[in-house]
Each structure stands twice: as structure tokens, then as C-alpha cells.
């Protein structure tokens, strides 16, 4: 038997696309890295006993990338808030 591969629920990709559409196109590599990190953070259907803490490294790294790219604070706050809400939904869904 193989170990389950890490993944996020199927609906997450479209939500990430909507959130990332707010960002400049040059941040696509950082957005892709965030999506990969998110998918690798939890095995499918694994219970979330850490209340979303499994996504903290992804969140912190992406925030730093946006800050280094000089994303305006209002947009940064909006995107990070959207991602926090999405992370909470992922944690509830699994």
C-alpha cells in the first residue's frame, strides 16, 4: 500500500486563481510556489488537529515574497485575508 499523496481539495485551484488574479503577473512564480506548498501541507482527508497551523509556513513565505515585491499594503492585506479564509475552509473540509 502506498502513502496518500498530499493534496488540497479540487475546488481550491479555482479559488486560488481568483485570489491570485489580483496580483501582478510577475508574482506568478510565488503564487505557484504557495499553491504547491499548500498542497504539500496535508495528506488528503487528513484531520486537521492543528486548526490550519499546517499552512503557516506557506502563508509566511508567500507574505514575505509579496512584501519583497513591494505589493501595496491594502492589496497585501486583502490577498492575505482571502488566503487565510481559504486555508480555514481547507482545514474544515478535510
Return the domain boundaries, the chain.
27-93
**pLDDT at residue 7, rounded to an integer:** 60
Check residue 35 and give its pLDDT.
92
Computed over every residue of the chain, the mean pLDDT equals 82
Residue 30 banded pLDDT, cuts 50, 70, 90: very high
* Global confidence as pTM: 0.78
Region 7-24: mean pLDDT is: 88
DSSP class per residue in 1-42 = -PPPPP---TTHHHHHHHHHTTS-GGGHHHHHHHHHHHHHTS
SS3 assignment, position 93: helix
43-84 pLDDT, tens digit each: 555 555 555 577 788 989 999 999 999 999 999 999 999 999
Amino acid at each position: 500500500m502506498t502513502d496518500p499523496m498530499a493534496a488540497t481539495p479540487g475546488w481550491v485551484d479555482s479559488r486560488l486563481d481568483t485570489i491570485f488574479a489580483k496580483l501582478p503577473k510577475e508574482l506568478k512564480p510565488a503564487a505557484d510556489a504557495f499553491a504547491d506548498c499548500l498542497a504539500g501541507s496535508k495528506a488528503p482527508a487528513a484531520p486537521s488537529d492543528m486548526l490550519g497551523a499546517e499552512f503557516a509556513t506557506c502563508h509566511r513565505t508567500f507574505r514575505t515574497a509579496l512584501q519583497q515585491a513591494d505589493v501595496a499594503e491594502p492589496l497585501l492585506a486583502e490577498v492575505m485575508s482571502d488566503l487565510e479564509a481559504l486555508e480555514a475552509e481547507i482545514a474544515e473540509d478535510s
